[in-house]
Amino acid sequence: MMLRQRFGIFLILFFLPINGPLLRMLMESRGMPLPLGELQFLGVSIVMFIVGLLMIFTPRLRLHSDSIE
């Protein structure tokens, strides 16, 4: 498993939309409240979830240096 895929799994698990309230409580308990509203935070978590999915399921890109003329 490539490092990119491992990071994608981390993003998926960390930014699941169900974890939003937990992340907010964690940040507020650390004294760093998030300046985002509920809907904005949901949008950010969904975007990060999709980025994680793309990182896991996209194939490896290979550069073919011999095909460049």
At residue 14, the 3 state secondary structure works out as: helix
pLDDT (0 to 100) of residue 44: 83
Q: What is the pLDDT along the chain (69 residues), one digit of tens a residue?
A: 788 888 888 888 887 877 778 888 888 898 887 787 778 888 888 888 888 888 888 877 776 665 555
Residue 31: φ, ψ to 5°: 85, 15
What is the reported pTM? 0.65
Using an 8 Å Cβ cutoff, are 49 and 12 in contact? yes
pLDDT (0 to 100) of residue 38: 77
CA 24 to chain centre: 16
